[in-house]
Amino acid sequence: EGEMERTVVSYEHQTPKGDPIVQDYNTSMFKTRNAAIIIDNGSHTCKAGWSTSPDPYLKFRPFVGKPRGKPVPGEPPNMVANEFDHDSTRYTTKTQYDGNFITRFDVQEQIFDYIFVHLGIDADKIYHPVVLSETVCNLTSSRKQMSELLFETYQIPSLCLGVDALFFLLFQK
């Protein structure tokens, strides 16, 4: 009489897993130089993929984390996005944004490296055009530095910058 049923709930901590890397880039349809790399460079979520695919291949939080204290053997000095636990106090995290504008281009470069490697491009030069979103009323200096980063570091053939809100309106049907 009056006996209560107890439910025991267990919680298992799951270690974040990194995004998959395209293994078959050399034999895939993405090898054609007509396929553009599409990057939605959001402050909360970054998405990247190919223009030949209807959905983004990568979707991650645009953070770079550096372990606090002593480096852990076998762990890279800086990790991007889904490679580490964002809520952990073991990492110092940085984003490329300061307010609504990109000002930390060293962090942005690490995010681009992450995107290109995970799209299967492991080369010094990117042979695909890049379509990149930017915020409304982006600063001219920020746009100039982003263009310099992509053209000089990755040697991309062409770049199309577009306001993210307008891209959204264009593709919502």
Interval 73-129: pLDDT, tens? 776 677 777 676 655 667 777 888 887 888 888 889 999 998 998 888 877 889 899
- 31 vs 26: CA distance, rounded Å: 6
pLDDT class of 56 with cuts at 50, 70, 90: confident
> Residue 26 — φ and ψ, nearest 5°?
-65, -25
Model confidence, pTM = 0.77
Tokens (6 digits) for 52: 């030949």
Q: Are 31 and 25 in contact (CB under 8 A)?
A: yes
